[in-house]
Structure 1
Amino acid sequence: MGSGHSHPLYRDGDSPVHRLPAEVKVACLVVFVLAVVATPRELFWPFGIYALILLVCWRAARIPLRWILPRMLIEAPFIVLAVLLPFAEGGSRVEFAGLQLSVTGLYAAWGIVIKGTLGVAASLTVAATTTSRELPVALSRLHVPAIIVSMLTLMIRYIDVLSAEARRMRVARISRGDSPRMLHQIGATARGVGTLFLRSYERGERVYLAMLSRGFDGRVPALAVGAGCPAPASSRQWVLALLPAAAAVLVAGASWVLP
């Protein structure tokens, strides 16, 4: 919707990963993340293999590290939380640089940081190679409930509209002498957020009534293949796309068996 049916995280390209149907990429992402989460945090070598799997995927998708790394800063708040755990947890402690750190807290912090980082990196890989128009179609083919697909489709459709509305409101405030960076203007900023919420709610009511008047029954009609909708994934595409996920599952299983 918006500009070229893309989103801010989409990286235009024609790599083998870009050409894969979105449903196989979503399935691969879910399996990969579950394998990472299931890995014992006390081990280190499995996470190195997971990182290597991601590097291979980035190479196949032609995504450079300089594009991925800045966008992974979204997890910074969780890293700050993880840094505090070695000081807050109890149990046995070790001394490092004159500080008494909890062993349990260190493992917990390591688990949060490494698993969160791998999850964010895998999600960015899918986002960078999948347009916003492909995602609802993929979820429908994966038999996600129709109401969730409908909500996601409408969210993707109107997020650009609401962003433009917020920009217009900000420009209007600045043109009237407001300075959004000044602390004393926080009240005006809060009122602007409330106004945007009310406008969004009212717009949603109008859109919903318009959809009902056109026969909307709670589900988004399926797009015809070829009319902006990619063909379903073939068996070969499923096998190729799930190779990284299968490798991650093998690593996760080995982490519980090997010392």
Structure 2
Amino acid sequence: MSFFTSLSGMRNAETDLRVISNNIANAETAGFKKSNAQFSDLVATGGSTDPRTTPGIGATVSSISQDFGLGQLEQTGRVLDVAINGDGFIATADGISGDITFTRNGNLQLIATGELQDANGNFVQAFPVDANGDTTSNVPNNVVVPTVNAAGSALSTISIDARGIVGATYSDGSNEPVAKIALASFAATGGLRPIGQSKWEATADSGAPEYGEPGIGNFGQVLSGSLERSNVDLAEEMVSLLTAQRNFQANARAIDTATAISQTVLNLQR
């Protein structure tokens, strides 16, 4: 039994090492959120078992939870780099399937047709606005910046302010609000499913997304010219890495000890 107990410990240490390695590998990934492995013990019990003599039979992974704590905000000076200073996710739609995913990586780009996309080509979701920048609908949609205004002047630059308003400036000097970036929140953020590329999708555990405007209620403000770095603390991860390695070695040593004891018992029986 000691072999299987130590084997479970080695498997758990391996899982812990994989989680820590993934955190370290994404230390420079914008919008990445680190994960933590949680473990629980296993006990062989029965109705007639004396609780004072109940042995443990190892451990198992109980959960791998995500830490959605805010990462450091780094200034980039690029207008289309946006960070959320507080709660909320940027919603993006797949150009083919239309599936909505959520991210904290605000590295955006404007393509030739005027659509505002994330770095992976998904369309940023925003609320329509009137000429004063006030929201006219609570249903978000793709951001499309007109490349030519009503006077026939070409698009010169775009801007994004703290309220998430995407503004377009044209060659004739006019400035027009185009849309207001929609932020999403969830009843249970820990229930979001990571799908890679610093993106998550909603699940039954997270609940449906609730959309709101930046800087209103619990939603954070949008900071243009900045990106949110990962919330991985390399010093903390290195300590965890050493601990997981020691756990693996200790369980391996326990198997060696159990093997030696078994060999001794077998020799005595000869």
TM range (shorter): under 0.3
Between structures 1 and 2, the one with greater strand share: 2
Per the normalisation by structure 1, the TM-score is 0.26
Structure with a larger share of its residues in helix: 1
Tell me the TM-score normalized by structure 2.
Answer: 0.25
Larger RCO (CA under 8 A, 6+ residues apart):
1
